[in-house]
Amino acid sequence: MTQALWICRLAVFLALMPGHWLAAALLWGAGDCWRRWAGRSGQRLLDVAMDPVLVRAGMACVPLLLDDAKAKGKANAGFSGPPWRRMLVLSPALRAGLDEDQRAAVLAHEAGHCRLRHEEMWLAGGTLFWAALLGGMAALGDPLLMPLAALAGWGIARLSQPLLAALRRRWELEADAYAASIVGAAAMASALRRLERINGPVRSPFHPPLEERLSRLSAA
């Protein structure tokens, strides 16, 4: 599905460029929103024990969903849907492997991402990048120079990866701090330790190492 989406968007861009570069950029952003906000079809959860956490996080009306589509057997959680129709998603492994306080901490962490608008900032930044790139390509006017502009844009995107990774790591720490303000730093630290025991160490440039996250929580 992801490959088909990219192919369709590329075809649309070739048809629109260079006269309608802004429309092309907006379509790119709309495609990212659709990919991230597509609804889930998992099982609806009724977890009364989590209601106070969601109330304190300002997400009392947000439904819980049990779904393993993205977790792929790991203990994980996230959220889906547009900002006006959020759903917090738990994997079966997370629900079975964490106790009540740890699950509450994970939900509060995901609620932190929602409340701090991290996803919206990420999508808006991507749309602005493509608007600038495609606008620059359109300003060149010469179709022969457009491949060079596209190559330059690809290079800029690659070189910016460390900065983007640092931004995402910062957002993870902010979500940890938000969760600590809801359920306490000890519960958030316990959840992080338990997740690492179940899933193994997280090897992603977008997530800080466990030691850094625990250090920030202990200093809070």
Give the residue among 84, 88, 146 at the shortest CA–CA distance from 113. 88
57/85 Cα distance (integer angstroms):
16
Q: What is the reported pTM?
A: 0.78
Q: Assign 5 a pLDDT band (cuts: 50, 70, 90).
A: low
Phi, psi torsion values for 199, nearest 5 degrees? -95, -15
Looking at residue 7, what is its pLDDT? 58
Looking at residue 77, what is its pLDDT? 87
**Cis before residue 82, ω within 30 degrees of 0?**
no
- Higher per-residue confidence, 152 vs 20: 152
The three-class DSSP label of residue 168 is helix
Helix (H) / strand (E) element for 80: namely: strand 77-80
- Predicted confidence (pLDDT) per residue in 152-168, tens digit: 777 877 888 899 899 99
Q: In this prediction, what percent of the chain has a pLDDT beyond 70?
A: 71
Phi, psi torsion values for 12, nearest 5 degrees? -65, -40
Work out how many domains the chain is built from and give that number.
1
> Taking residues 67-91, what's their average pLDDT?
80
Looking at residue 184, what is its pLDDT? 93
The three-class DSSP label of residue 163 is helix
126/124 Cα distance (integer angstroms):
5
Looking at residue 212, what is its pLDDT? 94
Strands ordered across the beta sheet of 87-90: 43-45, 64-66, 87-90, 77-80
Q: Assign 112 a pLDDT band (cuts: 50, 70, 90).
A: very high
Residue 171 domain boundaries = 2-219
Instruction: Tell me: pLDDT of 20 over 60.
Output: yes
Task: Spell out a b/e string for 44-74, using b for 16 or more CB atoms within 10 Å of the CB, else e.
Answer: eeebeebeebbeebebeebebbbbbeebeee
> Taking residues 189-217, what's their average pLDDT?
92
